[in-house]
């Protein structure tokens, strides 16, 4: 059976060293990693974050901007990133479609799940931006939500770390990477790499979450082929 995956990129993953803005060389790298998946017959959807531009909580910190407006600003940030990813994919000759949770017809299609599934069947990469379209959520929740809606086999959370550890590997030399972890364990440990709402949603829908380092070329393909040494799976 054909594999369908959803890859979640945080906004920070797209940024250069200072953590802000968009580094086009990273976009190019990401596009090539996705191309390898498509060339191997994998159907790929992407959810992108916006933390490299603005986050609602931070925008609302001093009370001048309300949390709701700050969150809409964050959702707009994800749209900026979505446009960039779509461009990078098209730049290397791939078909991509940007679908938005908030209507902006001049920029992308409205989110329509049936249309998204059809794009995927045709080998197009679907880039979901705008989060869930609702304040007080995150793009991690958008990732598990969209993955369930399109019947993906798994969510891959593409990060800069190679998995989930039993303790902080930066502080403890003897920290051990966990190959698998249950949803309940991930919730009780409040693993930082994915927020609790999205894990609870993944649990309800039996959607596996794979945490991996996407800055090692070839990792995504290897993980889809079953190499668990390169990732941790919440299932």
| Cα–Cα distance, 137 to 27 (Å, whole number) | 25
Helix pair angle (139-149, 113-121), 10° resolution: 70
| Cα–Cα distance, 143 to 201 (Å, whole number) | 10
Q: Minimal CA–CA distance to 158: which of 14, 55, 4, 18?
A: 14
Residue 55: in which H helix or E strand, if any? none
Rounded least distance, CB 1 to ligand UDP, Å: 30
DSSP assignment, residue 63?
S
Q: Which 7-26 residues touch ligand UDP, going by CB under 6 A? A: 10-12
> Measured from the CB atom, is 138 or 232 closer to ligand UDP?
138
Q: Is 208 in the site for ligand UDP (CB under 6 A)?
A: no
Rounded least distance, CB 9 to ligand UDP, Å: 7
- Whether 167 contacts 175, CB under 8 Å: yes
Q: Is 75 in the site for ligand UDP (CB under 6 A)?
A: yes
Among 6, 44, 49, 194, binds ligand UDP (CB under 6 A): 49
Among 37, 43, 51, 214, binds ligand UDP (CB under 6 A): 51
Which residues form the interface with ligand UDP (CB under 6 A)?
10-12, 49-51, 55-56, 70-71, 74-75, 77-78, 131-132, 134-135, 137-142
């Amino acid at each position: 059976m054909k594999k369908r995956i959803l890859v979640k990129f945080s906004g920070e993953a797209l940024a250069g060293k200072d953590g802000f803005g968009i580094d086009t060389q990273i976009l190019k790298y990401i596009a090539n990693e996705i191309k390898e998946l498509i060339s191997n017959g994998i159907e790929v959807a992407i959810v992108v974050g916006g933390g490299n531009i603005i986050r609602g909580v931070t925008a609302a910190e001093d009370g001048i901007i309300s949390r709701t407006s700050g969150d809409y600003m964050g959702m707009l940030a994800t749209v900026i990133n979505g446009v960039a990813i779509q461009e990078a994919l098209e730049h290397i000759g791939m078909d991509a479609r940007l679908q938005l949770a908030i209507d902006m017809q001049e920029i992308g299609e409205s989110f329509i799940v049936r249309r998204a599934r059809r794009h995927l069947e045709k080998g197009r990469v679907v880039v979901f931006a705008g989060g869930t379209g609702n304040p007080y959520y995150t793009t991690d929740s958008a990732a598990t939500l969209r993955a369930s809606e399109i019947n993906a086999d798994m969510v891959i959370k593409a990060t800069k770390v190679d998995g989930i550890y039993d303790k902080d590997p930066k502080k403890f030399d003897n920290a051990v990477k966990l190959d698998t972890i249950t949803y309940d364990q991930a919730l009780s440990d409040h693993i930082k790499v994915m927020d609790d709402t999205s894990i609870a949603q993944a649990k309800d829908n039996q959607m596996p979450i794979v945490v991996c380092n996407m800055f090692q070329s070839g990792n995504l393909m290897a993980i889809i082929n079953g190499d668990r040494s390169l990732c941790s799976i919440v299932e």
